Amino acid sequence: MKTGIFICHCGHNIKHTVNVKKLSEYFKKYPNVTVSQDYVFVCSEPGQDMIRESIEKKGLDRVIIASCTPSLHGEMFKDVLKKSNLNPFLLRRVSIREHCSWVGDDVEKNTEKAKRLILAGLYSAAHYVPLEEKRVDVTRSALIIGGGVSGLSAAAFLSKMGMQVYLVEKEPELGGHVRTLKNIWPAGKDGKSIIDEMIEELTGRENVEIFTSTTISGFEGFFGNYEVTLDTPEGEKKLTAGGVIIAIGFSPFDPRIKPELQYGKDDRIITTLEFEHNADTLQLPEKPRVAILHCVGSRDEQIGKPYCSRVCCINALRVGEAMKDKYKDSYVESFYMDVRAHPRGGEEYFEDTQEKGVLFTRANVAEINLSPTGIVIRGEDTLFGETFEREFDLVVLSIGMSPPVDNKLIASLLKITLDKDKFFMEAHIKLRPFDTAVKGIFIAGSCSGPKDVEESINHGRASAVKLFGFLNLGYAYVDPFISYVDPKRCSGCRMCEQACVAKAIKYDEEKRVVHVEEAACMGCGLCNATCPSSAISLKGYIDCMIDDEIGALLEAI
């Protein structure tokens, strides 16, 4: 083995607290070390040339660069190796700046620390093998589950970009909940026309296939090539999709879960959704007394829905406004916990409805009772701490969003996770809000948590862009730091398979060993740490590398 060690002064940054000369001299004596040099700026042009020359003239097969932290200049130094026809994964970076010279003041101690850090790199690199960034072919097609606004907007983008799109909808018609809404706040447009516009964009595009009244019955394969089985009215259909967008929306909360609200027992107790559909046909007296209940099925720990549904406050405000507009002398009272008028313009809208005469009472509604003359609401005014009992002609329940009914089915079929509220869980709430744990599967719209129409459309488009980025080239590179199995050592206990978060490990029933689906592996190394016989290893971080690093850092080997 011919190892080259290059120790950077980084101008004064390393040199002033680390004796770099002493280090380069020390390593010259080491077996397997062909070159040991220190240089003022290894990352400079002459510095890079120095490395290239050493590789080419001395025939180095390992390069150790002791300088700044590995996340800096990483690609640049890899390129240096590539240009000299050396596999870039035979490079080892040792951080003696951020982790040594900058964090300690004592030159002697720092030099000793740097020596051990370089030693650890040297021992670890001895186990390095050339690695390849593997190219996998991916199918340029997307499966979109759910034909609501999110699904349609994702389909519109992907098909426009020339990607094959399979849009699957459980219902006979596309459009989801939005289709049934008469008035989308604040646009004032009806839902059907929004949906029709979106469908119009899709029709005529050859690369869009729409399956209505269709469900998914099978899902196999890995990122880039998922094998999907659809259950269509014409029978079973199989297709291959490179990636998936789940946009199955939400279910309206069913107020029957809270029996004290008496929903379903009287026509005069309706939900905001029913109000939206039937506002014109309601039978009401000339001066109707209307109660609106906020947060029905939201922010309610007792029924396991602690989250805010985000859309229902605006819906409640709209009911109040509609009532006041139609019946000038009506008595409209809103019972709320907090008014959270989330979207842009929401807060102003809240003020407008107050000005129109809708009363807002901060209250806990205890129960609703039916009486011959009306509906009696009993509760506690939480601002004044008084109980009240009032009679109304109409009670509108501002219902929240519940997870979609098919959440568990889809989650188990696609092997993705649900969050504590049973919506689909994103890979990272801030950094990867559209991804799931499984590569190539994205979530869009309110199936990942309550969203309004605008947010759902944006979410759908964003997921589509992410998916497009993954699949557009027709191939993708897989990071070489993935796990591999030594079938001779594998006992087939399937512990790694059970633990694997990405579900990238598959068991071979015949050979009784596991193997790794390379395209799906995330490279975390959990399987390696789980396997008692280390039959499965993570490339780049195999056991003996880390073991030797430990030994070198402790000067025990």
Q: Site residues (CB under 8 A) for other proteins?
A: 69-71, 95, 97-100, 102-106, 109-110, 112-113, 116-117, 120, 417, 420, 427-428, 437, 481, 488-495, 498-499, 501-502, 507, 512, 522-526, 528-530, 532-535, 538, 541, 543-544, 546-547, 549-551, 553-557
Residue 238 vs 420, nearer CB to other proteins: 420
Residue 22 vs 205, nearer CB to other proteins: 22
Least distance to other proteins from the beta carbon of 361, Å? 36
Least distance to other proteins from the beta carbon of 118, Å? 12
Helix or strand (DSSP H, E) at 117: helix 107-125
Least distance to other proteins from the beta carbon of 227, Å? 24
Least distance to other proteins from the beta carbon of 523, Å? 6
Least distance to other proteins from the beta carbon of 529, Å? 4
Least distance to other proteins from the beta carbon of 84, Å? 25
CA distance 545 to 57: 28
Residue 344 vs 489, nearer CB to other proteins: 489
Least distance to other proteins from the beta carbon of 99, Å? 6
Helix or strand (DSSP H, E) at 78: helix 74-83
- What 3-state class would DSSP assign to 249? coil
The dihedrals phi and psi of 157, each to the nearest 5 degrees, come to -65, -50
Going by C-alpha positions, the residue among 467, 448, 358, 510 that lies closest to residue 140 is 467
Residue at 247: amino acid letter: A
**175 neighbors 186 (Cβ within 8 angstroms):** no
Residue 289 vs 305, nearer CB to other proteins: 305
What separation in angstroms does the CA of 278 have from each of 158, 274, 413, 542? 36, 6, 37, 65
What separation in angstroms does the CA of 380 have from each of 395, 512, 517? 17, 65, 59
Residue 307 vs 541, nearer CB to other proteins: 541
Residue 214 vs 448, nearer CB to other proteins: 448
Residue at 51: amino acid letter: I
Least distance to other proteins from the beta carbon of 102, Å? 5
**33 neighbors 90 (Cβ within 8 angstroms):** no
The token pair at 519 is: 């395209």
The dihedrals phi and psi of 260, each to the nearest 5 degrees, come to -65, -15
DSSP alpha helix (H) spans, 235-302: 272-278
**Residue that has been written with the tokens 């590539």 in this structure:** 82
Least distance to other proteins from the beta carbon of 30, Å? 12
User: What string of DSSP letters covers 364-424?
Assistant: EEEEEEEETTEEEEEEEETTTTEEEEEEESEEEEEE-EE--TTHHHHHHHHT--B-TTSSB
Residue 182 vs 428, nearer CB to other proteins: 428
Which residues make beta-bridge pairs with 251?
402
Residue 43 vs 376, nearer CB to other proteins: 43
Residue 102 vs 157, nearer CB to other proteins: 102
Least distance to other proteins from the beta carbon of 148, Å? 26
CA distance 554 to 115: 11
Residue 254 vs 419, nearer CB to other proteins: 419
Residue 125 vs 535, nearer CB to other proteins: 535
The token pair at 448 is: 């990942």
- What 3-state class would DSSP assign to 179? helix
Residue 47 vs 525, nearer CB to other proteins: 525
The token pair at 183 is: 């008035």
**538 neighbors 481 (Cβ within 8 angstroms):** yes
Helix or strand (DSSP H, E) at 5: strand 3-8
482 CB-side CA count, 13 A? 19
194 CB-side CA count, 13 A? 24
